[in-house]
């Protein structure tokens, strides 16, 4: 069974977060709550962990994985961001938005889109996750925790532990977690394109909801 870390949502125990970070640094995969839903996360530079992440989720290399970043400054090290894109993202970060941007050389080719060389990036508005990112020291590669063949994210830590035993090494429980994925916006075109409507309000980016 995956190791369970039960932490306080507003004042998470640093000792437990450090243990979770050690598992990630060691090539493990963790299920963590975010401001939108549970996500699977792993080390960006660990090839095997990234492959396992896709395998657990049941997606191919054309599915955009997402980098969880501490802030826009860190995000800009992993994506090419112009002034227009930066201003748009500033309106909606931190928050439940994922932005599709052109990846920089800091992102391994195996985790970016094979033809477009793009990657998803976001800055979560979640105290525990922000502190885990601080302790980990770099962005985490992530994907929404939706089981293959299903449409809704999982959000029960006990169910996650049971269903993903042997495939996920850690589960962080920080209390109630939403059950709606992020709103995904493609910023690689002249005008932002709403790719997926989720928890984030597109109006923050001046986008209409069809």
Domain that holds residue 18: 3-205
Residue 59 lies in a domain: yes
CATH code at 123? 3.90.870.10
For the chain, the C-alpha Rg in angstroms (whole number) is: 16
Q: What is the pLDDT of residue 209?
A: 74
Residue 17 lies in a domain: yes
Residue 170 lies in a domain: yes
Q: What is the pLDDT of residue 210?
A: 60
Question: Average pLDDT in the 159-165 region?
Answer: 94
d(CA 97, CA 35): 10
Q: What is the pLDDT of residue 132?
A: 98
pLDDT over 70, % of the chain? 100
pTM of the model: 0.95
Higher-scoring residue by pLDDT: 208, 90: 90
Count of structural domains within the chain? 1
Residue 28 lies in a domain: yes
Residue 210 lies in a domain: no
d(CA 185, CA 164): 29
- Whether 193 and 186 have beta carbons less than 8 Å apart is answered as yes
pLDDT category at 22 given cuts 50, 70, 90 is: very high
Q: What is the pLDDT of residue 72?
A: 97
């Amino acid at each position: 069974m995956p190791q369970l870390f039960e932490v306080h949502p507003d004042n998470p125990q640093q000792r437990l977060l450090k243990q979770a970070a050690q598992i990630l640094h060691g090539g493990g995969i963790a299920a963590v709550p975010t401001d939108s839903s549970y996500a699977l996360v792993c080390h960006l530079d660990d090839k095997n962990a990234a492959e396992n992440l896709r395998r657990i989720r049941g997606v191919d290399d054309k599915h955009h994985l997402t980098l969880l970043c501490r802030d826009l400054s860190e995000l800009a090290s992993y994506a090419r961001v112009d002034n227009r894109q930066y201003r748009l993202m500033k309106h909606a970060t931190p928050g439940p938005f994922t932005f599709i941007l052109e990846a920089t050389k800091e992102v391994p080719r195996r985790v970016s889109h094979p033809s477009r060389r793009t990657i998803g990036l976001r800055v979560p508005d979640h105290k525990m996750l922000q502190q885990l990112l601080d302790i980990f020291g770099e962005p985490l590669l992530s994907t929404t925790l939706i089981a293959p063949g299903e449409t809704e994210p999982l959000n029960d830590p006990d169910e996650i532990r049971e269903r993903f035993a042997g495939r996920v090494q850690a589960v962080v429980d920080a209390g109630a977690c939403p059950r709606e994925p992020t709103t995904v916006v493609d910023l690689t075109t002249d005008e932002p394109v709403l790719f997926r409507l989720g928890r984030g309000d597109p109006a923050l980016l001046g986008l209409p909801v069809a």
